[in-house]
Amino acid sequence: MMGLSLSRRARWLLIGLFILGLLIFFPLRIALGLAGFERMGVTARDVRGTIWSGRVDQLMLGKVPMGSVRVALSPIQLLAGRARFDMGRKAGLADDVSGAMTAGFGRFGIDDVTGAIPLGRTLAPLPIGGMVMNDVSVHFAAGRCGHAEGRVLAQVAGRIAGLNLTQGLSGTATCDGDALLLPLVSQSGMEKINLRLWASGRYTTEMRVETADTTLAQALGAVGFASVGNAQVLKVEGTL
């Protein structure tokens, strides 16, 4: 049988088509693994589709559930040496989330995240049931917080003895040494929460209530607060 003879141009064309096919149909699951998101505590029940149009079911950032999201790789960011996976959840509904996960050259983080993130009892006994993010970006590089920006509103689930926190506590994301810091303050300014998160997933939170009301102090003491000067303080730490 006579072998198929191809010109050099034809061989390069076939190689180019093969590479193009790989790029077009490259599985999203493999791409997320190569980007190292599993090492950062990102897990999912199922990943389907290609890098350009995929779906991740029951996405988890540590212990924080993100639900099911649509995911697509940004080709422009590849030119900058990082993989940015744009994601979105339930466009047009009340619990929309949009933004991106990024990784590359010893750094990882989130970009431009806007929407509600449910926390459940992740930070218990602190009564924070969720975070509403507004254009939040956080990058860790070499294990250190390198950049943080955007507004965060902590939603309070239920009531704490004697406190009215129905409007939540809000603040601007920033870096504090190696950690991400969310300094959250209530509308009255009397209640504050400082939440610090490290690249490893370890976090510490401190809720501080300024009060000279002995009745309120006793009520807060009954749920775990301790007296520190003229304030009642509750500290919690753990790993996301």
- Domain residue spans of the chain: 10-90, 119-240
pLDDT exceeds cutoff 90 at 174:
yes
d(CA 55, CA 129): 26
Helix (H) or strand (E) holding 149: strand 144-156
> In which band, very low, low, confident or very high, does the pLDDT at 221 lie, cut at 50, 70 and 90?
confident
What whole-number percentage of the chain has pLDDT above 70? 86
Query: What is residue 2's predicted lDDT score, i.e. its pLDDT?
Result: 47
Helix (H) or strand (E) holding 12: helix 8-25
pLDDT exceeds cutoff 60 at 35:
yes
pLDDT exceeds cutoff 60 at 224:
yes
Which of 2-6, 88-92, 173-177, 180-184 is predicted least confidently? 2-6
Q: Which residue has the higher pLDDT, 14 or 131?
A: 131
pLDDT in tens, 78-110: 777 788 999 887 655 555 788 998 988 778 889
d(CA 106, CA 140): 8
d(CA 149, CA 144): 15
Query: What is residue 94's predicted lDDT score, i.e. its pLDDT?
Result: 53
Query: What is residue 33's predicted lDDT score, i.e. its pLDDT?
Result: 84
Write phi, then psi, for 235 (nearest 5 degrees): -115, 140
Query: What is residue 23's predicted lDDT score, i.e. its pLDDT?
Result: 61
pLDDT exceeds cutoff 60 at 115:
yes
pLDDT exceeds cutoff 70 at 213:
yes
